[in-house]
Amino acid sequence: MTASQEPISRKSVTLPDSLWERVGQYRFFRQIPTEAEAVRQLLQAGVEFGPTVKTIVALATSRMKHVPGPFSDAYNASGSSPFAVFDLLEGEISRRNPSMTPEQVKERAQCVWNDASMIVKSDADAAVSFLNIAWQWLI
């Protein structure tokens, strides 16, 4: 065992049939070879995303106004212009989806911005903060 590998434990999981069906759908659409790997991926995503949910709720309910990050840096450096945010979004979308055309990338960036604005009730500063923590899930 190398230093970077963690010990692996085998556990049994009991879930309702409806939840197993959803795991199966997740597995099918992502072409995951085993049910165990699909469950592992879903658990990991939940653990990683859990703390982010609290921040998203705080932004959406106006209990939190700012989360620093690259989108805020671009937004503030440009004098509060959303075009700098779009440029950064387009770069991230292109990097993650290299098969998309430039027009598709621009359209997707606009949709991501609209989704972020809608979630935080059209407050541009909060939308930019939201993107700092959740843009990966919107793309």
Of 72, 133, 135, nearest to 108 by C-alpha is: 135
Phi-psi region of 19 (alpha: psi -120 to 50; beta: other; left: phi over 0): alpha
Contact 39, 23 (CB under 8 A): yes
Contact 120, 94 (CB under 8 A): no
Query: What tokens does 99 get?
Result: 């098969």
Give me the helix-helix angle, 82-96 and 102-119, nearest 10°.
120
Contact 84, 78 (CB under 8 A): yes
Enumerate the domain spans of the chain: 17-60, 70-138
CA 6 to chain centre: 26
Q: State how far the Cα of 13 lies from the Cα of 35, in Å rounded to an integer.
A: 11
Q: pLDDT (tens digit, 0 to 9) for every residue of the chain, 139 residues total?
A: 555 788 888 888 898 999 899 899 989 888 999 999 999 888 887 777 666 777 777 777 777 777 888 988 999 898 888 889 889 999 999 998 889 999 999 998 998 888 888 877 767 888 888 888 877 777 7
